[in-house]
Structure 1
Amino acid sequence: MERTILLVDDEANILSALTRLLRPAGYNILRAGSGKEGLEVLAQHEVGVIVSDQRMPEMTGVEFLHKAHELYPDTVRIVLSGYTDLNSVTDAINHGAIYKFLTKPWEDNLLRANIEEAFQRYEMKQENYRLNHELEKRVEEKTLEVTRNLKTLQVSQEILESLPVAVIGIDGDGYIALANSMAHHLLDRGEDRPLLGESAREMIPDQLLGCSGDAIVTMPDGVRFHCWQTTMGRLSQSNGIVLAFAPQQQIEQANHDA
């Protein structure tokens, strides 16, 4: 990232001296002879650090930096002046318009160190913006993913409930994790005792629970069921079985109608 600094002073020799001092650091140095000109430069360039004189005609350094703070709050603003109007400077510092106040004549190493620190402060703020933006983007993407998954789950649930056959999912511990309406109907389980969470051995007849693959079983009352049983885990990390069944008479009638 290129480091751009704006120097504002109504004395050309001061601007030249500051430029000579800072050029070896590799900064992109912009210059302005007044606060008004400084605002024009800021409107055309992305500036990280501003160093401004205080005593300038038409607009003081504090007034200029107040405007810069309002328009470009991310900039780091420094007053460099030989005059100490403490009330104005202190007020500007308290309101966030000025980061630091340095005096003329300056000490070269101290000025360079303060400007380096100002750029580090500016770049840290930009990095925080970038990280926050990435975080917001990831949260948005995750929210969209959750929303899509929820819609898919709702559609899957609706399809499951509309099937003309009973479907029961049994987890690896032998408990019922899924059961559609037809399963409750065929097993004669009403709302008083839902199947979910119950032991499969207690709720499902042995003839159906012992169904292997694709088979036809006969219940104690003589009713025959066509049943299908498959093992979960081929398309997911689930551990258990899926049991589907329907009265054989219903299957035969469907085949006949077809």
Structure 2
Amino acid sequence: MLNPQDQPRERVLLLVDDETNILAALQRLFRPAGYRVLTANSGMAGLEQLANTPADVIISDQRMPGMLGVDFLRQAKVLYPDSIRIMLSGYTELQSVTAAVNEGAIFKFLTKPWDDELLRGQVAEAFRIKEIADDNARLNRELRVANEQLAVANRELERMVRDREEQIALDLASLRIARELLQYVPLPVLGVDDQGMVAFSNALAESVFQGRGELLGAMLAEVAPELAPDAKGVWPAAVEIKGVRYQLASHAMGNISASRGNVLVLIR
């Protein structure tokens, strides 16, 4: 299925001249090119045509009753600035034409009688310029939309990062409070991660295992092998440490938090 942008564009050409035979000759000249050709016999009629069907390229005579070609093209530029405007005239009123060219109201000035091949080539070039300008305008719109969407995504990402940082700060504060509270529990308490490493020990646990080296960061099986679970992952119900019997309470972490591992409590 073709993308709508890949479909051939309709090229609309407006011819404005007060001489019927000139309009007919121009229509015959451009009909084989496949343009949609509109005609008007005066500047006012040309503006009415543009109001109904905006044209990509406009060719206008200079001397017409009611409104000169330069005045018509000036108004066309104001109302339809994206159009490509060409003057085709047998009168070379250089002052008014030069002023219109300098203002950008006229893209090209061609004289009558015209050379068919030259005129066809100039009009084809005008359509190419118009289509390139349209493509650039479309790409600019798409780029602007993409930049706006990217800005929205960046703001959302910044908000998420900010929320995450705030949550981390809250979690750290909660962790510090929990660690401090566990220091005052009148029982030896150890925290072991899911790899078997000691991640927490309160003061009473340190005293129970005193002389075995640093508990924090050590593997439980090395510093307190009597507490380690068996091959099936079952924790012992009771242990003896330095001649003292303890009941071992093991609680798996993760029920109400994202923590993993176990909390071990020794009850004498």
TM-score surpassing 0.5?
yes
Amino acid at match of 2:151: T
State the partner residue of 1:122.
130
CA deviation after TM superposition for structure 1 residue 162, in Å: 1.7
CA deviation after TM superposition for structure 1 residue 187, in Å: 9.6
Q: Whose radius of gyration is greater, 1 or 2? A: 2
Please tell me whether the aligned partners of residues 214 and 226 of structure 1 are also in contact (alpha carbons under 8 angstroms): no
Question: 1:218, 1:147 → 2: CA distance?
Answer: 38
State the partner residue of 1:71.
79
Encode CA deviations 1:36-79: one digit per residue, 9 max, x unaligned.
00000001112100000000011000000000000000000000
Change in Cα spacing, 1:141 to 1:226, as seen in structure 2 (3 Å) is farther
State the partner residue of 1:102.
110
Question: 2:200, 2:20 → 1: CA distance?
Answer: 104
Please tell me whether the aligned partners of residues 51 and 79 of structure 1 are also in contact (alpha carbons under 8 angstroms): yes
1:80 counterpart (61, 84, 88): 88
CA deviation after TM superposition for structure 1 residue 25, in Å: 0.3
Question: 2:175, 2:81 → 1: CA distance?
Answer: 64
State the partner residue of 2:36.
28
Encode CA deviations 1:167-223: one digit per residue, 9 max, x unaligned.
xxxxxxxxxxxxx446778999xxxxxxxxxxxxxxxxxx99x96636545659556
Unaligned runs of 5+ in 2: 1-8, 181-189, 207-214, 218-257
Change in Cα spacing, 1:18 to 1:216, as seen in structure 2 (3 Å) is same
Question: 1:214, 1:144 → 2: CA distance?
Answer: 44
Relative to the length of structure 1, the TM-score reads 0.68
Change in Cα spacing, 1:214 to 1:159, as seen in structure 2 (3 Å) is farther
2:157 counterpart (149, 155, 162): 149
Q: Secondary structure at the residue paired with 2:65?
A: coil
CA deviation after TM superposition for structure 1 residue 102, in Å: 0.1
Please tell me whether the aligned partners of residues 161 and 181 of structure 1 are also in contact (alpha carbons under 8 angstroms): yes
Alignment partner of 1:9 is 2:47: no
State the partner residue of 1:191.
none
- After superposition, the CA RMSD in angstroms is 3.3
Relative to the length of structure 2, the TM-score reads 0.66
Q: Secondary structure at the residue paired with 2:98?
A: helix
Change in Cα spacing, 1:182 to 1:45, as seen in structure 2 (3 Å) is same
Q: Secondary structure at the residue paired with 1:140?
A: helix
Change in Cα spacing, 1:13 to 1:131, as seen in structure 2 (3 Å) is same
State the partner residue of 1:213.
195
Q: Secondary structure at the residue paired with 1:94?
A: helix
Encode CA deviations 1:81-114: one digit per residue, 9 max, x unaligned.
0000000000000000000000000000000000
Question: 1:218, 1:68 → 2: CA distance?
Answer: 81
